[in-house]
Amino acid sequence: MCGVFGYIGGPRAASIVLEGLRKLEYRGYDSFGIAALGKTLHVAKRQGRIPEEGFDIRGLAGNAAIGHTRWATHGVPNDTNAHPHLDCTGKIAVVHNGVIENFAVLKRQLQERGHRFLSDTDTEVIAHLIEEVYEGDLPAAVNAVLPALEGSYAILALAKGDKRIVAARNRSTLVIGIGDDALFAASDMTPILEHTRRMVVLEDGDVATLAPASVCITNGGAPVDREEEIVQWSVEDVRKGGFRHFMLKEIFDQPAVFSEAVRALRNEELPGIIRDAGRVTIVACGTSYHAALVFRYLLEEKCRVPARVEPASEFRYYPPPLEGLVIGISQSGETADTLTALQMAKARACPTLAIVNVVGSSITRLADASLFMNAGPEISVAATKSFVAELAVFLHLVDVLKGGACAYELDSAHLAIEEALLLDLTPAVACCRDATDIFFVGRGPFYPIALEGALKMKETSYIHAEGYAAGELKHGPFALLSPETPVVAICVPGETYGVMASNIREMKARGTPLIVLGQKDDRDMQEISDVFIPLPFAESIAGLLSATVIMQLLAYHTADALGRDIDRPRNLAKSVTVE
Ligand code: F6R
């Protein structure tokens, strides 16, 4: 996600901010920029990463500066869309983390009043709104503008002629750091920690005015006291939000990721090509491929749209006869096999849709239309929150195609994720950690969840794990079942409950340690299993999400118990840009 950092104090403001932006790099970004205020206001910004050397900030003199690392949401990553953004006069500079949900309306109104926009971002409206009311008092101008903004923001603003930084927060973290002779404002504590451990966390609606030697916080125009904290965390602790690994942080981010994906999509027009799709082919790799398999069940069962799912690496060399819409699903938007598969689909004149997390990535540039997951940057190599965001996108599509059929799930599924996060998996981890092989089984849409559970287990813990459609075990893999081979089985109410229960009994007869994910009050499964994990909301689509979270946590804690390098498993890369 984007990061903001501001500094006011000594004369090296721009270089302190540039160093601070480097500390925010872990949040993921595609461009960066700085505005510094001395006698005049100077801006430097650029697409790409902050170079080790060669980014010239000598022109950025002044003792106040604000900076930004951008993770594109509105407009592709390029120099123009990078923050800071300026008003028409070039006297006001703004950086922003969050989303201004009503920016399109505001932009139209501002254009009608003669404002010229340079970027495609939502943020630029803030600079122009401030311009309209600025009369030499920046805090007053920012306070006057905030009621017009709907959405989330951590904003930092500078104005030529006003020697202060103004910071404002709504639903997006903003921390003020208090040094001996300097003040800081940032999206999190990371860039502040090396300067001071004295911090104040702003609350929603707060506006902080940072002058060289004083900070004043108001809310709704009235001064407020916010408690100062002395932070003891290390920089590394803060980067992971207190979690020991990014994977765990990203798993815990999922209730918010799900809700944010849904919120963002509901504000968008669905591309016509999906509404008109009579037949769909989906291409993806790895975790995104497993998500695509869930999508197929949803499309076929709920919308009666025939769907075919192909691993992109196979599709490339053995393309099926193509007809209808081709959808590529990719967190990174850079996976070579998925990109090539979409190129081939285009060459065969099929309409193409990308479902992607990274805005401006290669796959989005290629496809006819794109939908975004809005999951924020995924740092851990093992994909977790992007899978949940992908499911949110699919549910939204089905909901639109079927006139509100999934509205309840879209509004409530984050609760199932939250409940799953609270489960104690210690007995299940004890059962897995000494195993050399583990099977994961499910039926219907829970079969891809089993595949994903096995993938998470093998890539993070290095324990050999296989996902199977439960009925397939007896066609060969049964030969491997033994008291040393745990099976993780998902057994939910519904049409296949009876047959799944029989499969589980057959496994039990082979002495297999059984970890069963089932409905809370399922006595039979509680008795037969060695470890029973109650699935929050087992019966509904929310069960898919809670089972996913349990699989992720089981893999994570097993890998942790084994001391693995969880965020960077051996031999793996986050973005696979080679075939
Ligand atoms: C597994 C994992 C990979 C990716 C795969 C596709 O945890 O991360 O299997 O899912 O490399 O990546 P994207 O979705 O970026 O195309």
What tens digit of pLDDT does each residue of 512-527 get?
999 999 999 999 999 9
User: pLDDT over 90 for what percent of the chain?
Assistant: 77
Rounded to the nearest angstrom, the distance between the alpha carbon of 248 and the centre of ligand 1 is: 17
Residue 577 has pLDDT above 70, yes or no: no
Of ligand 1's listed atoms, the one at least distance from the Cα of 335 is: 16
- Most confident among 19-28, 187-196, 234-243, 511-520 (mean pLDDT): 511-520
Q: What is the pLDDT of residues 222-231, one digit of tens each?
A: 999 998 988 8
What is the pLDDT, as a whole number, of residue 309?
97
The region, left, alpha or beta by phi > 0 then psi within -120 to 50, assigned to residue 304 is left
Calculate how far, in angstroms, residue 285's C-alpha sits from the geometric centre of ligand 1: 6
User: Which of 530, 397, 520, 504 has its CA nearest to residue 443?
Assistant: 504
Cα distance between residue 551 and residue 456, in whole Å:
8
Which atom of ligand 1 is found nearest the CA of 287?
10
Measured CA to CA in angstroms, residue 519 lies from 317, 453, 526 at distances of 42, 18, 9
Judge whether 209 and 163 are in contact, CB under 8 Å: no
Best CATH choice for the domain 240-561 from the list 3.40.710.10, 3.40.640.10, 3.40.50.10490, 3.30.465.10: 3.40.50.10490
Looking at residues 441-452, what average pLDDT do you find? Answer: 97
Nearest-atom number in ligand 1 for the CA of 284 is: 16
**Phi/psi at 85 (nearest 5 deg)?**
-110, 145
Four-residue CA torsion sign, 103, 106, 108, 114: negative
Residue nearest (by alpha carbon) to ligand 1 atom 4: 286
What pLDDT score was predicted for residue 35? 97
3-state DSSP: the chain helix, strand, coil percent, rounded to 5? 40, 25, 40
Beginning with the edge strand found earlier in the chain, give each strand of the sheet holding 325-330 in spatial order. Answer: 307-311, 280-284, 325-330, 352-356, 369-372
- Weakest mean pLDDT among 91-95, 239-243, 259-263, 440-444: 239-243
- Cα 374 to Cα 135, 150, 162, 356, 371, distances in angstroms: 37, 18, 36, 9, 9
**Crossing angle (nearest 10°) for helices 124-133 and 138-145:** 120
Residue 21's pLDDT is what? 95
Would you call 491 a catalytic residue per the annotation? no
How many Å is the maximal CA-CA distance in the chain?
A: 81
Across 309-331, average pLDDT? 93
User: What spacing in Å lies between the alpha carbon of 562 and ligand 1's midpoint?
Assistant: 23
User: What fold is seen in the domain 3-234?
Assistant: Glutamine Phosphoribosylpyrophosphate, subunit 1, domain 1 (3.60.20)
Amino acid at 234: S
Measured from the Cα of 338, ligand 1's closest atom is 16
> Mutate which of 246, 247, 288 to test ligand 1's pocket (most atoms within 8 Å of Cβ)?
288
Window from 124-128, 213-217, 352-356, 570-574 with minimum mean pLDDT: 570-574
**Residue 232 vs residues 27, 198, 281: alpha-carbon distances, Å:** 21, 10, 52
For 466-475, what is the mean pLDDT? Answer: 94
> Which residues neighbour 323 within 8 Å (Cβ) at sequence distance 6 or greater?
279, 350
Residues lining ligand 1, judged by CB closer than 6 Å? 285-288, 330-332, 335, 338, 382-383, 455, 459, 576
Work out whether the CA dihedral 286, 288, 291, 296 comes out positive or negative. negative
CB atoms within 10 A of CB 83: 30
Give the pLDDT of residue 27. Answer: 80
Q: Is 376 left (phi over 0), alpha (psi -120 to 50) or beta?
A: left
Catalytic member of 2, 285, 431, 432: 2
How confident is the model over 341-389, as pLDDT tens digits? 999 999 999 999 999 998 878 899 899 999 999 998 888 999 999 999 9
Kindly report which listed range (3-17, 232-246, 546-560) carries the lowest average pLDDT score. 232-246
Contact 71, 375 (CB under 8 A): no
- In the set 302, 402, 508, 574, the catalytic residue is 574
Tell the residue nearest (CA) to atom 9 of ligand 1.
286
What lies within 8 Å, CB to CB, of 37 at 6+ separation is 13, 62, 63, 64, 65, 93, 158, 159, 160, 163
**57 in the Ramachandran plot: left (φ > 0), alpha (ψ -120 to 50) or beta?**
alpha
- pLDDT grade, residue 162 (50/70/90)? very high
Amino acid 571: pLDDT: 85
What is the overall mean pLDDT for the chain? 93
Burial class (CB in 10 A: 0-12, 13-18, 19+), 266: exposed
Q: Is 216 a catalytic residue?
A: no
pLDDT of residue 484: 95
d(CA 377, CA 73): 11
Above 80 in pLDDT, residue 1? no
Q: Tell me the CA–centroid distance for residue 447 and ligand 1, in Å.
A: 18
Please report the pLDDT score of residue 111 as a whole number.
98
Q: Which of 293, 332, 357 to mutate for ligand 1's pocket (most ligand atoms within 8 Å of CB)?
A: 332
Name the token pair of 136: 């030499």
**Which of 124-128, 236-240, 267-271, 556-560 is the least confident region?**
236-240
In this structure, the residue with its CA closest to atom 5 of ligand 1 is: 286
Given a contact cutoff of 8 angstroms between Cβ atoms, the answer to whether 176 and 7 are in contact is no
Atom of ligand 1 nearest to the CA of 575: 15
Beta strands at 464-469 and 437-442: parallel, antiparallel or unpaired: parallel
* Cα radius of gyration rounded to whole Å, the chain: 26
pLDDT tens digits, 528-556:
999 999 998 877 789 999 999 999 999 99
Assign 3-class secondary structure to 62-93. ECEEEEEEECCCCCCCCCCCCCCEECCCCCEE
Quick one: pLDDT at residue 579?
A: 61
pLDDT at 4: 96
Q: How far apart are CA 274 and CA 368, in angstroms?
A: 11
User: 460 and 566 in contact (C-beta within 8 Å)?
Assistant: yes
State how far Cα 376 lies from the chain centre: 3
User: Does residue 277 have a pLDDT over 90?
Assistant: no
Domain boundaries in the chain? 3-234, 240-561
Distance 379 CA to ligand 1 centre (A): 12
Q: Is residue 145 pLDDT above 70, yes or no? A: yes
Q: How many other C-beta atoms are found inside a 10 Å radius of the C-beta of residue 317?
A: 10
- Give 386 Cα–ligand 1 centroid separation in angstroms: 9
Number of continuous H segments (helices) and E segments (strands) in the chain: 20, 25
